[in-house]
Structure formats: C-alpha cells, structure tokens
C-alpha cells in the first residue's frame, strides 16, 4: 500500500502524497495525529461544544428509544447500547414483557465485559441464528469496527461461546448455517483465496468437528470477481441452499445447491435480483428483460412457481410494473435480495414509492391469482414500513416516521385483514420540538432538464433573506434511496441551532428504480453532481440561503459527491463536510475494497475509462488558483472498506497548495461508520455542528 508507484502511471496522476496510504502506516498516523490536534483545537474549545455533545449523547442514549427486536422462536432479541453499556448488550425478552413500558430483559452477551476480559475493544457486528430451533448462533465481532471480523459459535441456551465449536479468525468472511453440523464458509483460506477486491472467492461446506482445512469446496470464483458466498433461505416447510458468484457490484450468478452439492444455475439475467417465498420465485430485473415473448421493464417484480422455473418454464406474472415516478422502495442490505419486499406466512408486503414518498400493499395468492390491497396509513411526506415476524404466522411489525415524527412500532396480524388497526407497542422519544418546524418537497431542474426532488426541513417562521445556515445532504450512488427519516439528534445539533436541513434525491440513487441509478453510472457520473448543484442553485434562488450560508455534507460515495461540489462548484458553498470519502479516483481500486466498485465508477487503469473518471476525481481537480470553501475531512483509521487514505491525501494536498481552512479529523475506531459507539458518534456530530456554524452561521 505504501509502495511508490509513480513511475508506472501517467505524469498527470503522479502522487507525492502516496506516503499517506495504508491503514496502520505509522508515518501517516503521526500526520493524522497532528491534524486532529489542530481540528480539535479549532472546533471543540468553544462554550457550546460540550453542551451540544452532551445533548446529542443524551439523545442517543435515551432509555425511551425503541429497542429494535427480532423474533427467534418464542424469544425476542435486541442489541442495546447506552451510557452504561457503550459497546452493547445482546439481550432477550418475551412479547408480553416487550409490551410493557419497562420490559424485563435477560442478558445473553455483554460485549463490554467480553472486551474487558479479552483486552480487545470488540464491536458487535452481527448475529446469525440457526433455524428453526434457535439453539445456536454465530456471533460476529470486529476488533476495531472495521469490516474484517471474527466469527464464533454461541450457545443461546447456556449463553456461552461453544468450546471447540465453529470459529473463524478476523477476516472479511461470509458465513451461513446449513444445519447444526454444517455451515457455508467463505473466508481467507490463505494465498490466492481472496479476490482483487479483498473478499473471499472460495465457498466451502464445513462440517462440525473437522478442521477448516478439510472443509469441502463447492465453488470458486475468479480472482477478478468481487466475491463468492454460500447462503440458505429457510421457509416454514423447506430450506434452499445457494452459492452466489458476485461478478461485480451489480452482476452475479446464483446456483441452487442440491443434496449432493451439485450446482443448478438460476437462469435469470446477471443484473437481476431474486428471492423465493414458499413455492414461488420472485425476480426483479434491473434491465429490460425479454422472456417467453414478453418484455418486462427494469424495476418490475415478477413471479412464478419455483420448481417450474427451475424445470425451464417461464410463465411469469407481474406483481409490480413501474411507471413514471413509481418504484419499489429502497435497496436491501444483501444485493441478491429484492427491493421493497417482505412477507408473512400467507402474504407478501410490498413497499412502493412515488416521488420518494412511499406506500404499502398486501398481495395474497388465491386460486392462481394475486389479490392486492392497500395497507397502512401514513402522514404526508413520511415513511411507512412493515415486515413479517416469521414464516409461521401472519404477524407483522409496522413502523411510521418522518423528518419531524419519531418512529412508532406497531404489531399487527394480517389474519384480521389488511385494514385492521395494528397495536401500538412503542414510540421513540422526541429529541426536539417539532411543532416549530415544517417539511416541504420541491423539484429542481438539472442541467439536462431532469426533474430532481428534494426535501426541505425548516422553521415555520423562516425568513427568506438568504442568510439561513442550510445543510444540503446527498448520496447519489449504488441505487441507495434517501427517504424521509426522523432527524432525531440532528434536531439538537443542527435544527435547534438555527439550521435548515435539505435532502437531495439525485440520480445514482434508487428513488425512481434501477434506471435512476444507471443514469449516473460510470461515464454518466457527472449527472449526479449536476443534480446536486441544481438543488443548491434552487435553494439560493429561493433566497432561503446563499452561498455564504450553504454547506454540503456526504459520506462514502456521498463524500465523493461533496468532494466534487468542492472542486467543481466551490462558488455555491460556504462549507463542505466530507466524511469517509472516496476522492483519489485514480488509485481507488488499489485502496481497501475499492476494486469492488469498478461497476459503479469505471476502471481507472483503462485509459479510455480514466479519461471520464478524471472528470470526477476531486484529488486530481484541485486548482490552486481557485477559491475554495472551508472543508472538514473526517475518516477512521479502521475503515477497511473505503480507507482513510483518500481523506488524508486530499487534505494534505490542499494544505500543501496553501489553500486555507482545510481541516482533517481521523477517529481510530469505528470502521466505515467512523464511530464505534454512541460517545464517539456524539463527539463527531458536535464537531461537525461547530465547524458548520463557525463558517456558515447567521452572522450580523
């Protein structure tokens, strides 16, 4: 990572700051330590910093917040963090207890106590149950909050780690139960077992009581593929095992694994997603799909009998077909699964959006047809979601929230009908006085005429004098949608300090389905940045703010977004907050997991692709003759996904060119979230708030 490769690259990308690359590079860490001292001195010594930090922390640690629970047999599990348990407790209760204002919880695993006993600052990163008995689980622990984790088998009855049980050392592993004695494992098996993206490429089945070295290989992906993994889908009456070859971020091959470990390819387009439910396969094509004499548009949801599909039949039926403005809602965490989809035992719950505002429908198969009913009620410009609790009942949870509305959690049963009122179980606390604020949705016109939606949250008595401190947030990549969500402690750290908050739904996201995402892929990337700039211009034109009082904030791909606001549109902004960003788009494929995103951005090692990538590489577009707004780069030493390298190098380069007001902060823990616990999160939020108000606050 720290090898100087300048002789191998074109002259215009020679890199004098390459010495700042490498997660644990001691010279780079020393530089980061010096930068932290400067930044903390500038923005944590004011009289308001500690007050804001403490208010935010109190909100994050509120005992009244809804404990997110998931059902495991008769128990309801939750992972909980607060002031007393900063690293968290894995705990369980019963439904009757959960209904109470103060449920009685039984501790299953104390992560803080584990860390003290083992002298490692463990960060809880996952919990995978063995179905259907729920007697065992895989506990996933990160030593620093990064993506590389340790995997241990845990006995849910004795509440102890299983001596001699399944165990994997720290790596970017992919795991899944098969049954009590077998698991899928894709991990670092040694030389040649990881892809160029840094993920496992070999999938094995590991039998209890045997060494990992004797695990049986069932699939090997290529070195240039993104990764491979094995997983299981468990229904009420069946299990299906799969192996997936992830070619790149948007293309994959999936194979059904039969009883003798033979692989049967699921014959769908490489960019389509699918899942199964009972006897059906459900498919969402990301591109137009011509099959069996019919053409299905991208973003549709199609279904037919799974066994018949495997046998070669293609009598597909549509459950959803998008039109202008509508789409399946959101992107799921696992890209092999579908958007906008959940289910109970007998029903499918669809989440749909129109102009980024969503609604729900219940679909029920009956006599060869699918009955469709509207489901749930939601206030304007809010978010409603519902999901089934398990495969054995028609019970569901429903949550409703909005920018000014704390989330609620209700329990319902579709046996009572889709129009039956659900039982309100919990309500998140309010962190700020929402009665003083208002939410509105607007549309800006981008450079090519595209209509770009955005939400504005402001005081009801806002004065359109161009002086309101306004924070514009965006992401614009990887088909991720930015839907309404409760601002929570952002109300404390920003709104209550006089700020206006804006969310831009730019191309590259998934707000209008796969085509909205594809509109900003690779050589079309600048469309996302033009969209974001168009929203900034609309805010300025409305006189809700002005360039001196407008800031842009984004993280990860959103960090690349605001990095481009910095270099391409500096005249529109009074400050930039650039978090865990990509910025050096020439070397991004050689830093941490960067090679896995070539499908999103392109390959800079190909001259014809570097020609367009360079246009949105902030690190290569800094012009010492330009005037730039103040900028705060933040990252984490343990970010093994994007890597701290980008933020370090960008800050150092700008400072070396004599550009003023370039600040940098690197947290040690937290991985790609840059905060390992709520104390660190509160500190970072207060730091950002102080930085913003220092530069874009309303001044006399």
Task: State the SS3 of 93-113.
Answer: ECHHHHCCCCCCCEEEEEHHH
Active site (annotated) includes residue 672: yes
- Give the tens place of pLDDT for each residue, 358-384: 999 999 999 989 999 999 988 889 999
Which architecture, in CATH terms, is 6-57+439-696?
Answer: 3-Layer(aba) Sandwich (3.40)
Q: Within 13 A of 510's CA, how many CA atoms are on the CB side? A: 22
**What was the pLDDT predicted at 332?**
44
pLDDT of 10 reads 64
Which portions of the chain are predicted below pLDDT 70? 1-13, 330-337, 699-700
Cα-based angle 236, 338, 306 (whole degrees, multiple of 5): 50
Instruction: With CA atoms as reference, report the closest residue to 96 among 392, 376, 411.
Output: 411
Task: Reduce the DSSP state of residue 667 to 3 states and report it.
Answer: strand
CB 343 within 8 A of CB 388: yes
DSSP class of 677:
S
549 annotated active-site: no
The secondary structure element, H or E, covering residue 407 is strand 405-413
Predicted local confidence at residue 273, as pLDDT: 95
- Cα Rg for the chain, rounded, in angstroms? 25
Question: Residue 558, by phi and psi: left (phi above 0), alpha (psi -120 to 50) or beta?
Answer: alpha
| CA 335/CA 252 separation, integer angstroms | 9
Q: Residue 293, SS3?
A: coil
From 197, 534, 556, 596, active-site residue = 556
What does the pLDDT read at residue 3? 37
Rounded to whole angstroms, the Cα distance separating 37 from 384 reads: 43
* Predicted local confidence at residue 284, as pLDDT: 96
pLDDT at site 14:
78
Q: Is 420 exposed, middle or buried (0-12, 13-18, 19+ CB in 10 A)?
A: exposed
Out of 347, 431, 549, 672, which one is annotated catalytic? 672
Farthest CA pair distance, the chain? 76
Burial of residue 337 (CB within 10 Å: 0-12, 13-18, 19+) is middle
**What is the rounded CA–CA span in Å between residue 473 and residue 455?**
10
**Rounded distance between C-alpha atoms, residue 594 and residue 614, angstroms:** 16
Beta-carbon count within 10 A of 164 CB? 8
What does the block give as tokens for 419?
A: 């129009």
- pLDDT given at position 2: 36
Place of tokens 């960019």: 271
Q: Which residues are CB-contacts of 120 (< 8 A; sequence separation ≥ 6)?
A: 143
Nearest to 364 by CA among 340, 390, 394, 334: 394
Consecutive H or E run containing 600: helix 598-601
């Amino acid at each position: 990572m720290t090898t100087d490769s300048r002789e191998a690259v074109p002259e215009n990308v020679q890199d004098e700051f390459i010495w700042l690359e490498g997660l644990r590079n001691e010279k780079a860490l020393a530089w980061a330590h010096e930068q932290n001292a400067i930044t903390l001195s500038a923005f944590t010594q004011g009289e308001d910093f500690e007050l804001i930090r403490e208010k935010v922390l109190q909100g994050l640690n509120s005992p009244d917040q809804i404990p997110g629970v998931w059902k495991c047999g008769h128990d309801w599990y939750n992972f909980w963090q607060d002031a007393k348990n900063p690293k968290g407790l894995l705990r369980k209760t019963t439904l009757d207890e959960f209904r109470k204002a103060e449920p009685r919880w039984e501790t299953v695993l104390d992560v803080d106590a584990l860390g003290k006993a083992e002298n490692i600052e463990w960060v809880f990163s996952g919990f995978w149950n063995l179905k259907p008995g729920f007697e065992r689980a895989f506990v996933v622990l990160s030593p620093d909050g990064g993506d590389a984790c340790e995997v241990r088998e845990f006995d849910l009855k004795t509440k102890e780690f299983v001596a001699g049980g399944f165990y994997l050392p720290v790596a970017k592993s992919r795991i899944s139960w098969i049954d009590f004695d077998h698991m899928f494992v894709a991990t670092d098996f040694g030389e040649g077992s990881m892809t160029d993206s840094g993920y496992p490429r070999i999938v094995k089945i590991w039998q209890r009581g045997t060494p990992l070295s004797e695990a049986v290989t069932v699939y090997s992906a290529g070195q240039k593929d993104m990764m491979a993994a094995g997983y299981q889908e468990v229904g009420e009456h069946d299990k299906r095992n799969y192996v997936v070859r992830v070619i790149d971020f948007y293309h994959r091959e999936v194979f059904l694994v039969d009883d003798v470990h033979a692989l049967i390819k699921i014959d769908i387009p490489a960019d389509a997603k699918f899942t199964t439910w009972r006897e059906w396969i459900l498919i969402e094509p990301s591109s137009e799909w011509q099959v069996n004499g019919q053409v299905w548009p991208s973003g549709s949801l199609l279904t037919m009998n799974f066994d018949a599909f495997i046998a070669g039949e293609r009598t597909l039926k549509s459950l959803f077909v998008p039109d202008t403005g509508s789409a399946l809602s959101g992107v799921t965490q696992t890209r092999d699964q579908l958007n906008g989809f959940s289910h109970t035992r007998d029903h499918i719950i669809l989440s749909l959006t129109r102009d980024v505002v969503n609604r729900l429908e219940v679909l029920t198969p009956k006599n060869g047809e699918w009955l469709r009913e509207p489901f749930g009620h939601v206030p304007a410009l809010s978010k409603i979601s519902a999901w089934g609790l398990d495969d054995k009942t028609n019970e569901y949870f429903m949550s409703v929230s909005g920018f000014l509305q704390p989330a609620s959690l209700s329990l319902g049963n579709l046996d009572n009908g889709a129009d039956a009122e659900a039982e309100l179980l919990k309500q998140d606390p309010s962190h700020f006085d929402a009665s003083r604020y208002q939410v509105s949705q607007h549309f800006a016109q981008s450079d090519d005429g595209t209509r770009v939606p955005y939400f504005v949250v402001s005081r009801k008595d806002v004065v359109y004098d161009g002086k309101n401190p306004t924070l514009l947030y965006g992401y614009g990549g990887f088909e991720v949608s930015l839907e309404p969500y409760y601002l929570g402690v952002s109300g404390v750290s920003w709104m209550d300090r006089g700020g206006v908050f804006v969310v831009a739904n730019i191309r590259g996201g998934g707000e209008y389905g796969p085509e909205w995402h594809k509109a900003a892929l690779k050589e079309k990337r600048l469309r996302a940045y033009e969209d974001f700039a168009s929203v900034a211009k609309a805010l300025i034109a409305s006189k809700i703010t002005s360039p001196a009082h407008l800031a842009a904030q984004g993280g990860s791909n959103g960090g690349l977004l605001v990095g481009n606001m910095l270099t391409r549109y500096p005249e529109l902004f009074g400050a930039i907050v650039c978090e865990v960003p990509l910025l050096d788009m020439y070397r991004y494929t050689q830093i941490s997991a960067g090679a896995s995103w070539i499908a999103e951005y392109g390959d800079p090692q190909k001259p014809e692709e570097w020609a367009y990538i360079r246009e949105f590489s902030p690190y290569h577009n800094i012009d010492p003759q330009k005037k730039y707004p103040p900028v705060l780069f933040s990252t984490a030493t343990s970010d093994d996904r994007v890597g701290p390298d980008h933020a370090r190098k960008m800050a150092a380069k700008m400072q070396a060119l004599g550009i003023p007001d370039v600040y940098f902060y690197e947290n040690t823990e937290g991985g790609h979230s840059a905060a390992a616990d709520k104390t660190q999160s509160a500190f970072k939020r207060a730091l950002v708030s102080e930085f913003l108000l220092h530069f874009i606050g309303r001044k006399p």
